Amino acid sequence: MHREKFDQLFNAALEAGRKRDYVRAIALLEEILCSTDEYPLAILYLARSYHSLKEYGRAIQYFRYYLHRQPESTPGYFFLGRTYLSSGLPGEAIPYLKKAVKLNPGSANTLSLLGLALLK
**In this structure, are residues 84 and 92 in contact, taking their beta carbons and an 8 Å threshold?**
yes
- List Cα–Cα distances, 81 to 4, 67, 68, 69, in angstroms: 33, 12, 15, 17
CA 45/CA 114 separation, integer angstroms: 22
> Given this model, what pLDDT does residue 37 score?
80
pLDDT band at 81 (very low <50, low <70, confident <90, very high): very high
Does the structure show a pLDDT above 90 at 2? Answer: no
**What domains lie within the chain, and their CATH numbers?**
1-71 (1.25.40.10), 73-120 (no CATH)
- List Cα–Cα distances, 18 to 31, 40, 49, 87, in angstroms: 19, 19, 11, 23
Average confidence score pLDDT of the chain = 96
For 4-62, the pLDDT digits (tens) are: 999 999 999 999 999 999 999 999 999 999 988 888 999 999 999 999 999 999 999 99
> Given this model, what pLDDT does residue 92 score?
98
Single-letter amino acid code for the residue at 66: Y
